[in-house]
Structure 1
Amino acid sequence: METANASRYLVQLCTHAAKVGDHLQHGHLRGAHARPEVRGVEYSDTHGTLDLSWGRCVLDVDPDGLTIRVDADTEDHLRGIQDIIAADLQRFGHRDSVAVTWQPPRVQHDEEA
Structure 2
Amino acid sequence: MARSKAVVETKNASRYLQQLCKHWSHKFTVDFTPTEGRIDFGDGRVVELQANEASLSVEVDSPDLQRLEQVVADHIVRFAFREELTFVWTPAG
TM-score (ref. length: structure 1)? 0.69
1:79 matches 2:66: yes
Matched-pair contact (CA < 8 Å) for 1:90–1:100: no
List aligned pairs for 1:33-44, cutoff 5 A: 38=28, 40-44=29-33
Q: How many residues matched? A: 85
Seq. identity, %: 32
Choose from 70, 95, 106 the match for 2:60: 70
1:12 matches 2:19: yes
Matched-pair contact (CA < 8 Å) for 2:14–2:52: no
Q: If you compute each CA radius of gyration, which structure gives the higher value, 1 or 2? A: 1
List aligned pairs for 1:82-97, cutoff 5 A: 82-97=69-84
Shift of 1:4: 0.3
Give secondary structure in 1 for the equivalent of 2:73.
Answer: helix
Q: Which structure has the higher relative contact order (CA within 8 Å, separation 6+)?
A: 2
Matched-pair contact (CA < 8 Å) for 1:6–1:65: yes
TM-score (ref. length: structure 2)? 0.82
Could you say which structure has the higher helix fraction? 1
RMSD: 1.4
Could you say which structure has the higher strand fraction? 2
Runs (4+) of structure 1 moved beyond 3 Å? none
Give secondary structure in 1 for the equivalent of 2:58.
Answer: strand
- The unaligned stretches of length 5 or more in structure 1 are 22-37, 107-113
